[in-house]
Amino acid sequence: MTTGNVDAVQQSERVAVCVYCASRPVPDRYVRLAGEVGAGIAERGWRLVSGGGRVSMMGEVARRARSGGARTVGVIPRELVDMEVADTEADELLVVDTMRERKALMDGHATAFLALPGGIGTCEELFEVWTSRYLGMHTKPVVLLDPDGHYSGLLDWMRGLVEAGFASQRSLDLLTVTADVDTALRACLS
């Protein structure tokens, strides 16, 4: 193996994508999307960081990543473990007391953030890492994978905030929005 190949392998092993997505029942197309993302992470030799749940999109992204050989790190609050939704198959399952601790550990383990379609929890996680990026608290990529316009209303609202002066164009520019899994995963390296 040449030095270039060794460096590429070492770099790919250092990439850890934190995926935010739904953990409640959603249409099958979203579960399939999560599976594609998990498989794509594994194909690249990356690690997955997730919310540590085994249901819906969150469970599928982890299952597909693991089945492709990716290491998975799940971070879950104790209350959700007790409700038996923990991804006990995770390579590393970190149990915390609060949602704030959960997000801090997820952030600390990740080199990039990728939000898939989801609800208020997904939006809250996305906004926190996006705002932190804007404020210069980290330089990790923040990517939104939106293949069917799930976030179109939110993005329209954000553009309206820019027009009204409540947000800067730079804040929008720091979020990569794409409809394509491969493009989203490539953006996790930028």
Give the model confidence (pLDDT) of 123-145 as tens digits: 999 999 999 999 999 999 999 99
pLDDT of residue 6: 39
What gap in Å lies between CA 44 and CA 188, rounded to an integer?
A: 11
pLDDT value for 151: 97
Q: Where residue 82 falls among pLDDT bands split at 50, 70, 90?
A: confident
Is the model more confident about 7 or about 122? 122
CATH number for the domain spanning 36: value is 3.40.50.450
Region 159-175: mean pLDDT is: 96
pLDDT attached to residue 34: 98
| pLDDT(5) > 60 | no
Q: Which domain does 151 fall in, by range?
A: 3-187
Residue 9's pLDDT band, with cuts at 50, 70 and 90, is: very low
CB-count burial class (<10 Å; 0-12, 13-18, 19+) for 91 = middle
Tell me what the pLDDT averaged over the chain comes to.
Answer: 93
Specify the pLDDT at position 13: 62
CA dihedral angle for residue 15, residue 18, residue 19, residue 24, rounded to 10 degrees? 150
Task: Let me know if 25 is exposed, middle or buried by CB neighbors in 10 A (0-12, 13-18, 19+).
Answer: exposed
Whether 2 has a pLDDT exceeding 60, the answer reads: no
CB atoms within 10 A of CB 157: 11
The confidence score (pLDDT) of residue 76 equals 96
Distance CA 99, CA 106 (A): 10
Domain count of the chain? Answer: 1
pLDDT band at 37 (very low <50, low <70, confident <90, very high): very high
Residue 48: strand pairing partners: 17, 72
Query: What is the percent of the chain with per-residue pLDDT over 90, rounded to a whole number?
Result: 89
pLDDT-derived band at 1 (thresholds 50, 70, 90) equals very low
